[in-house]
């Protein structure tokens, strides 16, 4: 398995998901074991903030980076040409980006509780994105919400300048895309 390959085997795709699930469980466990119980509500707010940050990151990365900046644009075009292919950001790269651009700044500007809470939210959002994106292309999961996500994402593949949100459409509505 190539560590920096964008095309994953089924096993590589599963391992990527397993790594993020493990990170979510480890961060959750660390928070629960290390934070005093009277700070859990505050930490939960940081997790929610991380989820909101992730939703905006998902939209912005998809709209501005994956559709406009090389080499990411060319790699993303491969996904548009082969939507069934298991193309994903290499785990080592996405993990490094989360550590460098989320965990470290949040911890340095706040504290470890803030850094872990926000990182947990961003990581959970990224994990959910991976599951939803896989499901909309491979049809493994069903339900009204997912069918709507599938339909909206299919529109994005047909009209690539619209519908950049994979897991939610709020930022598409805010920015009229």
In the chain, domain spans: 10-174
Residue 117's pLDDT is what?
97
Burial of 71 (0-12, 13-18, 19+ CB in 10 A): exposed
Residue 77's pLDDT is what?
86
In three-state form (DSSP H/G/I as H, E/B as E, the rest C), the secondary structure along 60-109 is: HHHHHHCCCCCCHHHHHHHHHHCCCCCECCCHHHHHHHHHHHHHHHHHHH
Residue 7's pLDDT is what?
66
pTM for this predicted structure: 0.91
Question: What residues of the chain score a pLDDT lower than 50?
Answer: 1, 3-4
Residue 14's pLDDT is what?
87
From first CA to last CA, the distance across the chain in angstroms is 37
Residue 3's pLDDT is what?
46
Residue 117: name the closest of 52, 22, 21 by CA.
52
């Amino acid at each position: 398995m190539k560590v920096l390959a964008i095309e994953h085997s089924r096993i590589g795709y599963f391992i990527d998901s397993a790594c993020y699930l493990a990170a979510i469980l480890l961060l959750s466990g660390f928070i629960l074991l290390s934070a005093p119980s009277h700070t859990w509500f505050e930490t939960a707010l940081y997790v929610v903030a991380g989820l909101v940050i992730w939703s905006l990151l998902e939209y912005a990365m998809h709209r501005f980076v994956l559709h406009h900046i090389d080499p990411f644009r060319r790699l993303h075009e491969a996904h548009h040409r082969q939507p069934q292919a298991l193309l994903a950001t290499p785990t080592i790269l996405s993990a490094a980006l989360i550590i460098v651009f989320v965990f470290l700044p949040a911890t340095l500007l706040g504290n470890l509780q803030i850094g872990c809470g926000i990182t947990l939210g961003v990581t959970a959002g990224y994990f959910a994105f991976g599951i939803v994106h896989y499901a909309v292309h491979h049809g493994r999961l069903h339900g009204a919400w997912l069918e709507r996500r599938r339909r909206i994402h299919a529109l994005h593949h047909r009209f690539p300048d619209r519908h950049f949100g994979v897991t939610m459409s709020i930022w598409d509505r805010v920015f009229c895309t």
